[in-house]
Structure 1
Amino acid sequence: MVSKWEKVKRAVGLKLCYYVPTDIVNDDYDYSTLRSTGSFSDSVSVAGSAEPVVKGRLRLSKSLSKSRSSQQVCSICLTTVKPGDGHAIFTAECSHSFHFQCITSNVNHGNHVCPVCRASWKEIPLKSPNMDSVPGKSRIGPSGWPAHSSNMMTVLRRLPSSPRNSSRHVTPLFQETEPAIFDDDEAVGQTEISSKAALGQTDNNPARMIDIRSYPEFSSVSKTTSCNDFTVLINLKAAMSSSAPRAPIDLVTVLDISGSMAGTKLALLKRAMGFVIQNMTSNDRLSVIAFSSTARRLFPLSRMSESGRQKALLAVNSLVANGGTNIAEGLRKGAKLMEERREKNPVASIILLSDGQDTYTVHGSGVLKTQPNYQLLLPLSIQGSSGSGFRVPVHTFGFGSDHDASLMHSISEISGGTFSFIETEATIQDAFAQCIGGLLSVVAQELLLEIECAHSGVLLQSVKAGSYSSHITDDRRSGKVDVGDLYADEERNFLFVLNLSPESSGNETTVLKVKCLVKDPFTKESLTLKGEEVTIQRPVRLTGEEVRSIDVDRQQNRLQASEAMSQARAEAEQGNLSDAISILENCRNTLSETVSAKQKDRLCISLDMELKEMQERMKSRHVYEASGRAYVLSGLSSHSWQRATTRGGSADSSSQIQAYQTPSMIDMLTRSQTTVVSSPDVRRLLRPNLPFSPPKPR
């Protein structure tokens, strides 16, 4: 008499491995229905087998057939699904093909639908054979098969309920539950760096991590003249990357995987995240939060070692788009992770990407849409307003024409980050590359600029610092600007407007004393760096016409252009597009008459180009809603923080963005563009004017 085990083996074929309900090996299960109902896949193969499978939906890439899958692209990793490259290929019942390694990672995170067409699968590919602990599943296979071989590949078909007990069914794969407290971060790496050697210091030479320069508006002012708006420019420049190491980072990416991200958007987001992961070092740590209607942490804050990168890539590749857009929940979980981590790298930042509008907190039911409170989206713990001084910048990326640009810009402004507008899908990786090129090059932290009036006849009237927090004492004798972190070779320019009294004695006036307080990211030491005193000549009378400093003039033009952008945006929001265009046009005409513009200054040329582009994006209400608002807000973010952002089509499509790019940003951007250009699959996917569509079913 043939045993039940032998009957099962005959039903499914030899040299196969399946996971089936435990009822199959029990006496009360009617296993004779297996053959009649076709409850199992036709066949399945073991990795490394020399014999290809012909009937099964899972094939080795050395298949003898020349199927059309050789021309397909895996929608998870965006590389060719081509027989003969040493990778197993899984073709689902919906006829879409994927690398087995990619799709099993997707399934292991609980996703049982096709990433391309969203079809529900009856057959689920599995790689991990250790399912003994999963209720409702047992493993069957020929005798002698190793019980825990890592080389096995399996297809699990959802079996019909037992005819004798309808409650018995295949239990879905478990998702890793999140801990109540996110204190499971991986320990930070040990970085041994000599602070003095790293920063170019010697015993006889002060720290060179910040170069401080001063530029008075005019080099001479008549000693009998009283001046109420004399401007002094203070320029700060961080050490170059070649002479200073950069601090390791804790980076949390909060990614929108709502239903609108399905298809090409999600595929390109995965590729962009792959680029980020591959360019982080073993001392950097990364965690990914994915949000739609709810938010979940894909993995703890982990070092990007070889194994860490692999884990991160598999987790990102498993993402599937569905649901609504709950930005607040994604940020809450990202802030929770930053706040509860056991250890901390010197630099911390959050990247937020979304292509839609928040449908839960800001634009949900019961929320006033006329005056949305965007602060509701950002937890107090990362705003720096909780009294603890803890603040993590959130760099936001608005993706496409349907995102809420005002929301994303507000989040970045409140947290101290930047807002970038990704207009076309093809440039998402470049936008990420430029951002992390800066984040992975921080050489100075907690920079505080302090100035003091050095003469009794000098008073501080105002500080032009953009979005940076500034303060003037009540006696108007001193002031300060909270600058924060600086990337390698990055510059900051601040204008101090002074009141000058007539000089009663002497032929020169020492106007200001300047110093910076800065923290060494590696030693945590606070350093004090003193700049040269700002002095101007005070002759009895001036000989000839005084020439305005081009450096001061350039920065005044930047501030004037930013003010025009802000005013134009306010008019556009009220529907007064013609008035908005006029404001921008008047600003362009004014800038063209300045000293720096007449000398063909690069910043002035780029400002004019940017203002002109904004005019074009305000020609109609439709154009403004689709791209004009986001373009203006991204420009305001860039100029107010003096930091590069992506605007419109690409990270380097217009020269105005080059004004704040650092060498590290340019290098990372070049890597990204080289990577895309060298990939034939991505070139086909991103071919202009040719929307990507998944392979057609055979």
Structure 2
Amino acid sequence: MSSSENKTCSICLGNVETGQGQAIFTAECSHSFHFGCIGKSVSHGNYLCPICRAKWNDLPFLMPNINPNLNVVSQVTPPPPVPSPAVRREPLQFSDDEPLPAVTADPTPNAGLQNVTINAVPERQAIAAPESMDNFSVLVGLRAPPLSDDARHIQRAPIDLVTVLDVSGSMHGSKLALLKRAVSFVVDNLGPSDRLSIVSFSSRARRIFPLRRMTDHGRGDAKRAINSLLANGTTNIVEGLTKGVQVLEERRFQNPVASIVFLSDGRDTCNHSSRSQNFSNTRQPPQFLHLLPSSICPDNRGTENQQTFPVHAFGFGSDHDPLAMHAISDSSGGTFSFIEAYEMVQDAFASCIGGLLSIVIQELCLMVRSASHGVDIKSIPSGRYASEISDQGSRGTVTVGDLYADEEKEFLINISVPALTNAEGEENERKTSLLDITCSYRDVISNETVRVEGDLVEIRRPDSLSPPDMIVNLEVDRQRNRLNAAEGIAEAQRMAETGDLRGARAILSNRRSSLLASASGQAGDSLSMWLETEMRETEQRMGSRQMYERAGRAYALSNMSSHGYQRATTRGTAFQNSDFGSRGPSMTGGASFDGYVTPNMASMVNKSQQLNKKTEDDGTPREDN
């Protein structure tokens, strides 16, 4: 709401500042009116806000109507009771969340999950006994169990989800209409154990819907709150996210998973953070990050044991602040997606909740241990997941956290392998044990800690190598390609921020050439081909300064977010194909999804697309951007 709207009664257009000699009524939707004006409006049966059309729970008290000619008092007929509306007066404390459903006995005896599976592959099958290697790679893969079709509602963790939505003036028209439809899609796909809260922000932020279970009644009220949204005012990202965090921090009850979905189409204009579009200053971190709650920006916290809520940020259109939104999502452990075409917003939300509504594993930690003297762990390139090497290189850990159903995480463990001195025994039987691998996690059904042991990783040690022994495993090679592509995109993005777009394109071009020359590239590996397409698209979006600022920066940062967490993000201009294979999407055009998409994410996007197609086939008019 603009400052002028704050000071004007929309009924008589007079000033509603205090001290003007008239009583003021401020409704729960934050709009203010002269008491007399709104009282007359209500007495005529108008029980909706004249500005935003929200239903009011608390109506202005109606004084008796005095007829001076009759010198009697005729009581105005009171209005009928107003049902509990979706939009309520915002309390000071958000401890009004709806209680969780009672826990009942599992009606499906065989509804338990399978264990996480561990797969480990050395880069080669053999190392010559007299040879030592300082940098030998073992690929360790973790895969979450699937959800069974007949018990998926009880096999995944219920979620507390807060949507923080930009409703500033620039969101008017088709953008707001498409956003409403996208959030309504989210509402329709949450289960009765899931809870949703809605926060909107422009110049100020409001919680327009408390944290409530998505039962049939809850869904109806949530949709009424969504439909009440209007676009006006400026953009206060800090207040919007602060209020979204407040909803989660002050809840009385807690579902196992808590996340924030945050969408904005602009830059924060209320916290001294706006920057001119030039390369000399866009490299600086957003100035307002230090104002955000420490539960989404851990660098701001004073204590270590505070919960962090992942923020899944969606940059809407070409005018949002990708550096800020990527920084917020990255620091919180969430993902950053770039919605370039307005009509993509529902599919983008569908992809995100397809993952969030399939979390089956929590607190996952991978542990590797040297299995032989002289085998030392040198490095673990784990992206944005925290890793540590301890005990002089004999132990390593990677803290992963949550896993979606069927989701995979792959990590290269780079080790040193010593030569075998005074090798004894039959040549074909000599081996070196490399790594012991285990993982631990919390099962969301039993709430118990599970420990899984992988097979011992060994390698043959013949006196000399045959040609097959020299072949690099394609799974290891493709993982190197993924890491090299991610490093190349990040390096190119940093260079582009300095204004050296030619150098940025050269980096990507060289990385593409190396990928195509690799073993997996030569073999036509699907993931490697997707990586090459992704780098080529990023390179094209760095073709000029204008192109980079309009779409290249957000596209590159979304790629970096995806690779850093090995988790799918949305980017590009359209969803070209959602028929995904085992490791990645079928590419028929511009990159939209990536190789980390899970079956549940793909299924939710297909559901969204089918719904959009049905809407078009039924002749329902669609908004154009």
- For the aligned pair, the TM-score class normalised by the smaller chain equals 0.7 to 0.9
Q: What letter corresponds to residue 512 of structure 1 in structure 2?
A: L
TM-score, with length taken from structure 2: 0.82
Corresponding position of 2:513: 589
Corresponding position of 1:241: 147
> Is the Cα contact below 8 Å between 1:209 and 1:443 reproduced in 2?
no
What secondary structure does 1:329 align onto?
Answer: helix
Corresponding position of 2:614: 678
Q: Does 1:198 align with 2:130?
A: no
Corresponding position of 1:600: 524
Offset of 1:615 from its aligned partner? 1.5
Corresponding position of 1:67: none
Corresponding position of 2:123: 217
1:498 to 401, 415, 429: 415
Change (3 A) 1:481 1:314: same
Q: What letter corresponds to residue 273 of structure 2 in structure 1?
A: H
Q: Does 1:517 align with 2:440?
A: yes
Corresponding position of 1:62: none
1:185 to 70, 86, 97: 97
Q: Which runs of 5+ in 1 are unaligned?
A: 1-20, 23-38, 47-103, 114-124, 152-172, 201-207, 693-698
Q: Does 1:390 align with 2:307?
A: yes
Change (3 A) 1:334 1:199: same
Corresponding position of 1:649: 573
Distance in structure 2 (CA, Å) of the matches to 1:326 and 1:184: 25
What secondary structure does 2:369 align onto?
Answer: strand
Offset of 1:649 from its aligned partner? 1.5
Moved more, 175-184 or 643-652: 175-184
Corresponding position of 1:376: 290
Distance in structure 2 (CA, Å) of the matches to 1:127 and 1:491: 46
Q: What letter corresponds to residue 664 of structure 1 in structure 2?
A: N
1:314-358 per-position Cα deviation (integer Å, ceiling 9, x unaligned): 111101111111111111111111111111111111111000011
Offset of 1:589 from its aligned partner? 0.6
Offset of 1:453 from its aligned partner? 0.5
> Is the Cα contact below 8 Å between 1:676 and 1:683 reproduced in 2?
no
Q: Does 1:408 align with 2:325?
A: yes
What secondary structure does 1:228 align onto?
Answer: strand
Moved more, 573-582 or 676-685: 676-685
- How much is the aligned-residue C-alpha RMSD, in angstroms? 3.2
Change (3 A) 1:127 1:549: closer
Corresponding position of 2:5: none
Q: Does 1:436 align with 2:336?
A: no
TM-score, with length taken from structure 1: 0.73
Corresponding position of 1:294: 204
Q: What letter corresponds to residue 412 of structure 1 in structure 2?
A: S
1:533 to 453, 456, 465: 456
Distance in structure 2 (CA, Å) of the matches to 1:441 and 1:461: 34
Distance in structure 1 (CA, Å) of the matches to 2:176 and 2:59: 34
Change (3 A) 1:370 1:478: closer
Moved more, 243-252 or 411-420: 243-252
Q: What letter corresponds to residue 628 of structure 1 in structure 2?
A: G
Distance in structure 2 (CA, Å) of the matches to 1:675 and 1:662: 20
Moved more, 239-248 or 300-309: 239-248
Change (3 A) 1:509 1:309: same
Structural mapping, 1:57-456, within 5 Å: 108=48, 110=49, 112=51, 134-135=61-62, 148=80, 176-192=88-104, 197-200=110-113, 208-242=114-148, 245-361=155-271, 363=273, 371=284, 372-373=286-287, 375-384=289-298, 386-456=303-373
1:366-421 per-position Cα deviation (integer Å, ceiling 9, x unaligned): xx977234632531123455312411111000000000101111111100000000
Change (3 A) 1:437 1:590: same
Q: What letter corresponds to residue 184 of structure 2 in structure 1?
A: G
> Is the Cα contact below 8 Å between 2:296 and 2:331 reproduced in 1?
no
Offset of 1:473 from its aligned partner? 0.8
Change (3 A) 1:183 1:594: same
Offset of 1:593 from its aligned partner? 0.8
> Is the Cα contact below 8 Å between 2:338 and 2:558 reproduced in 1?
yes
Distance in structure 2 (CA, Å) of the matches to 1:672 and 1:647: 16
Distance in structure 1 (CA, Å) of the matches to 2:66 and 2:362: 56
What secondary structure does 2:305 align onto?
Answer: coil
Corresponding position of 1:52: none
Distance in structure 1 (CA, Å) of the matches to 2:292 and 2:472: 43
> Is the Cα contact below 8 Å between 1:400 and 1:424 reproduced in 2?
yes
Distance in structure 1 (CA, Å) of the matches to 2:78 and 2:617: 38
Corresponding position of 1:542: 465
Corresponding position of 2:403: 486
> Is the Cα contact below 8 Å between 1:431 and 1:651 reproduced in 2?
no
Q: What letter corresponds to residue 227 of structure 1 in structure 2?
A: M
Corresponding position of 2:546: 622
> Is the Cα contact below 8 Å between 2:87 and 2:225 reproduced in 1?
no
Q: What letter corresponds to residue 443 of structure 1 in structure 2?
A: V
Distance in structure 2 (CA, Å) of the matches to 1:252 and 1:463: 34
> Is the Cα contact below 8 Å between 2:168 and 2:233 reproduced in 1?
yes
Offset of 1:145 from its aligned partner? 8.4
Distance in structure 2 (CA, Å) of the matches to 1:575 and 1:305: 52
> Is the Cα contact below 8 Å between 1:381 and 1:390 reproduced in 2?
yes
Offset of 1:605 from its aligned partner? 0.7
Corresponding position of 1:54: none
Offset of 1:192 from its aligned partner? 3.8
How many residues align structurally? 549
Distance in structure 2 (CA, Å) of the matches to 1:457 and 1:135: 86
> Is the Cα contact below 8 Å between 1:645 and 1:651 reproduced in 2?
no
1:100-147 per-position Cα deviation (integer Å, ceiling 9, x unaligned): xxxx9xx84x5616xxxxxxxxxxx7877x87753569799x999896
Distance in structure 2 (CA, Å) of the matches to 1:573 and 1:226: 42
What secondary structure does 1:391 align onto?
Answer: coil
What secondary structure does 1:559 align onto?
Answer: helix
Distance in structure 1 (CA, Å) of the matches to 2:371 and 2:306: 31
Change (3 A) 1:351 1:150: closer
Offset of 1:460 from its aligned partner? 0.6
> Is the Cα contact below 8 Å between 2:54 and 2:228 reproduced in 1?
no
What secondary structure does 2:433 align onto?
Answer: strand
1:232-269 per-position Cα deviation (integer Å, ceiling 9, x unaligned): 01000000112761111000011111111111111110
Q: What letter corresponds to residue 559 of structure 1 in structure 2?
A: L
Deviation >6 Å, runs of 4+: 125-128, 137-140, 142-146, 681-684
Q: What letter corresponds to residue 610 of structure 1 in structure 2?
A: E
Distance in structure 2 (CA, Å) of the matches to 1:519 and 1:442: 11
Distance in structure 2 (CA, Å) of the matches to 1:675 and 1:354: 24
Offset of 1:520 from its aligned partner? 1.4
2:604 to 668, 671, 682: 668
Distance in structure 1 (CA, Å) of the matches to 2:166 and 2:291: 14
Change (3 A) 1:332 1:307: same
Identity of counterpart residues, as a percentage? 43
Distance in structure 1 (CA, Å) of the matches to 2:556 and 2:598: 22
Offset of 1:190 from its aligned partner? 3.1
1:631-653 per-position Cα deviation (integer Å, ceiling 9, x unaligned): 11111111111111100223456
Q: What letter corresponds to residue 111 of structure 2 in structure 1?
A: A
